[in-house]
Structure 1
Amino acid sequence: MKSIISILALLLSLGLQAQTALYNSGNIRIHDEGQIGFHTDLINNASFDQNLGLAGFYGSSMISVSGAFMPVFYDTEIANDNGVMLNTGMSVSSNTNFVAGNFMTPRAQRDIYFNFLQDAFYVGEADLSKVDGYVTINNEQNFIFPVGDAQQLRSLTLNSSATNTFAKCAYYLENATNPATFPESFDPTKKPRTMGDISQVEFWHLEGSVSSSIQISWNARSNMAALTEDVTKIIPVGWSIGGRSWVNLGAASLVGDLTQGFLISDNFVPDNYAVITFASEATAKELLTLDNYLVTPNGDGVNDALYIEELELSDDDIITIYNRNGQKVYQESNYTNGFTGYSNLNNIVIDRAAGLPNGVYFYIIEMKDLKLNYQGYLYLEH
């Protein structure tokens, strides 16, 4: 029969009925198939790492784990609706059983975490039982981090190209561009022009030195409709630490609708990014803010041709240029920066070889595949 030790019974046997915590100074060990149930706080001020059997956290009042040493358990489980607050880290070498309640870590102290040692695993994770804070892994190539906030499980799946000696993850129900508890904010304007809105609801902090892809999901609380009307435009993005800007991490696959779904990213190195969240690809209308242009074909390498970057977004475009009298002087399908101040038409009384005269010209652009039309003017000066 398994030996079952209740902390309350242990305290009574030691004559410490008035004590509100169990202080470990080096005289506790869980033997093979043994069980110990914590119903009170644990203050661990000595090595507590030669354990086998099960360490459970039970009751209806929040339990705190603190002290100078990180306890290392073999199997552990939580069945406490008010959770277990880790004020020092905790390691597990075998199984963690999530029954009820959260293991919680202070996000402001990222060196405190729930640590899965090599080959450790877990069962039972759910909205009501997970890690509300930081989770770490050791010597694993692939892992699903059972992280979330107080209300929801918001797992992140890490699939790496090699073994991660150490990796860390936490979920934040906060606006990444102006977070409440994360120590840095991330400017939403620092992004490529092909990126649309960035989530103001949630983000993940992921650390790892191995090239990896991730899988993250969204649900109704994620409010994807605020980012885009087209689910296929959802992308994973990260704040580049070196580049000091948002980067599209690439969506290798995507499943779902605006209410719920998930995506898998392209490979990237997590340590290169401070936070990860969702954004949208910019729509053609968001991207296409065509300007008025200057063309100075004098051979100095600046504005020698009419260059309209936005046309690269279209695979079926036509540009037509008119002089101020309404005469068509240039037309090209699938434009490739061909206008250098010369007409390519024969229907006007102008010496094509001499070039068009200086002055104001008007352009019309049709992007048939995007169902968009634009017009503006350019100034030509030889």
Structure 2
Amino acid sequence: MKKNDLYKETKQSIVSYPGGILSFVLVLLASQSGQAQFINDGIIKVDDKTILSVYEPYVNKPSGGFTNDGIVYIFDNWSNNGEVLYSKNSEGQTFFNGKKVQTLEGRTTSNFHDVIFDSKSDTLVPFRLNQIITVNGKAEFINGIIEADKNSRVIFNENAIHSDASDLSFVDGKVEKIGNSMFEFPVGNDLYFRPTFHATDGIGDGSIYTAQYFHQNSDNLYKHASKEETILLINDKEYWNVTRDGGTDKIVLTLTLDSQTTPDEFLNVDSKLEVAIVRWDDVLLKWVKEKGAVSDPFPSTSKAGYSKLLTAEVSGYGIFTMALVNREIDDEEVVVYNAVSPNGDGVNDTFLIEGIKDFPDNSVEIYNRWGVKVYDAKSYNESDVMFRGYSDGRVTVNRGEKLPTGTYFYILRYNNGVQGKEKSGYLYINNQ
């Protein structure tokens, strides 16, 4: 008769139970196949001075509680149908370090403080996500793509961050961000990391946004033939789905472009044309233009797997991609000089918009690379109301703070007495 119940001890795996009693964990197994499993139907707490290594598939039953305030290494599959938590003020870290495909599944949410995805396989194998996980501190994407099914997602809570996302590791599925802090959505599809960037301008109460990238033709969803007349050619290789699931704040959205996924005509554009973000409008039932400006990526992300950025203030949410449109003919009412080097030498010390003094009914907004507004002024002119390379204050950018060197995005709106006009584009600040 085949023995179904096996018992095995983990390798140097110590946990702290309530009451402070240290004990080696006994792995209780009940497997018809005879494969060892770490089954928990009680309470486990890993304290801040403890390291726990789990070498067998971990199963958290509905009655099971798992609190990680220390360091936990998971080398096999993870199944959670109970509670997975961290304590208040915890900095607990959970590492997924398998040498084969690891599945993260379960009917309840796994709540991590820090989570590190670092597959130790000699080949590129994925993590299969079949549940919802939350990140409260930091997620590190080192090696291994997180393939999330349609009912799963990675949720970043307010102030949660991530690092190291690249073509080697990202979320192939939905990423949700709660709150208004600046954020790069670490999304991609197939073997391509293609994030979006944005933040919100309000206080962020109730703000929830979700993003997902598809290396697919959006014409299969919404026919490209149904579009505004100004749109000439829509990207037929990729699109993003960006939704606002809570809150009312508008966003400045940045999409990413790269030769591995983006058609060449959007990277090497004819001088008579320009690239703009376009969105499918569910009310108008056609693709609409959201404008946009193209720039080089940020120096810190030069190895992240994309080569260009496309930014625009968007008027709605849903399916986004990029399109070629006719370049707008610039008028001579105002001339924008898009370089600022506030070093006091009298050259480009301020953001000069020549002629704007003649149109005092105007506004200027400047956003950083994440879509965070760093400057906002009305009745901008060429003398006293001018941008000098410093922030005018926001939740995430301190008032009077010298802004770092880099590329920023501006929106100029003014009324010339006949009609309202809008210009947008990139502004380079050299604050060195």
TM-score, normalisation: structure 1: 0.64
Matched, 1:281 2:325: yes
1:61-103 superposed Cα distances (whole Å, 9 cap, x missing partner) = 1111111101101111011142321111110110111111122
What residue number does 1:269 align with? 316
1:211 corresponds, among 237, 240, 250, to 250
Matched, 1:159 2:199: yes
Matched, 1:69 2:108: yes
Kindly report the root-mean-square deviation, in angstroms, between the aligned alpha carbons of the 2 structures.
3.0
Alignment of 1:1-382 (within 5 A): 5=13, 13-16=26-29, 18-19=36-37, 21-25=57-61, 26-32=63-69, 34-50=70-86, 52=90, 53-80=92-119, 81-106=124-149, 109=150, 111-162=151-202, 163=204, 165-178=207-220, 185-208=221-244, 209-226=248-265, 229-230=269-270, 233-251=274-292, 253-256=293-296, 260-270=307-317, 274-282=318-326
CA 1:46 to 1:223, structure 2 compared with 1: closer, same or farther past 3 Å? closer
CA 1:42 to 1:166, structure 2 compared with 1: closer, same or farther past 3 Å? same
Aligned partners of 2:65 and 2:82 also within 8 Å: no
Letter in 1 for 2:287: W
Question: 1:221, CA displacement in angstroms?
Answer: 2.1
CA 1:4 to 1:171, structure 2 compared with 1: closer, same or farther past 3 Å? farther
CA 1:314 to 1:171, structure 2 compared with 1: closer, same or farther past 3 Å? closer
Displaced runs of 4 or more, over 6 A: none
Q: Secondary structure of the equivalent of 2:200?
A: strand
CA 1:122 to 1:282, structure 2 compared with 1: closer, same or farther past 3 Å? same
CA 1:83 to 1:223, structure 2 compared with 1: closer, same or farther past 3 Å? closer
Aligned partners of 1:30 and 1:54 also within 8 Å: no
* Aligned-partner Cα distance in 2 for 1:4–1:84: 25
Letter in 2 for 1:54: Q
Letter in 1 for 2:264: A
Aligned partners of 1:6 and 1:38 also within 8 Å: no
Q: Secondary structure of the equivalent of 2:260?
A: helix
Letter in 2 for 1:165: S
Which blocks of at least 5 consecutive residues in structure 1 are unaligned?
Answer: 179-184, 285-312, 316-382
Q: Secondary structure of the equivalent of 1:114?
A: strand
* Aligned-partner Cα distance in 2 for 1:15–1:169: 40
Aligned partners of 1:213 and 1:268 also within 8 Å: no
Q: Secondary structure of the equivalent of 2:280?
A: strand
Q: Secondary structure of the equivalent of 1:55?
A: strand
* Aligned-partner Cα distance in 2 for 1:4–1:239: 55
Aligned partners of 1:217 and 1:263 also within 8 Å: yes
Larger Rg: 1
Letter in 2 for 1:276: F
Q: Secondary structure of the equivalent of 2:218?
A: coil
Question: 1:260, CA displacement in angstroms?
Answer: 3.9
Letter in 1 for 2:155: N
CA 1:5 to 1:280, structure 2 compared with 1: closer, same or farther past 3 Å? farther
Question: 1:21, CA displacement in angstroms?
Answer: 2.9
Sequence identity percentage: 19
1:179-216 superposed Cα distances (whole Å, 9 cap, x missing partner) = xxxxxx10111111111110011100001153111111
1:118-157 superposed Cα distances (whole Å, 9 cap, x missing partner) = 1111111111011111100112243110111131210100
* Aligned-partner Cα distance in 1 for 2:330–2:169: 48
Letter in 1 for 2:320: I
Task: Determine which structure has the larger helix proportion and give its number.
Answer: 1
Question: 1:6, CA displacement in angstroms?
Answer: 8.7
Letter in 1 for 2:26: S
* Aligned-partner Cα distance in 1 for 2:198–2:12: 37
Question: 1:159, CA displacement in angstroms?
Answer: 2.9
* Aligned-partner Cα distance in 2 for 1:130–1:217: 14
Letter in 1 for 2:179: N
Q: Secondary structure of the equivalent of 2:188?
A: coil
Question: 1:11, CA displacement in angstroms?
Answer: 11
Aligned partners of 1:193 and 1:282 also within 8 Å: no
TM-score, normalisation: structure 2: 0.57
Question: 1:18, CA displacement in angstroms?
Answer: 2.5
* Aligned-partner Cα distance in 1 for 2:118–2:313: 38
Number of equivalent positions: 268
Which 10-residue stretch deviates more, 145-154 or 159-168? Answer: 159-168
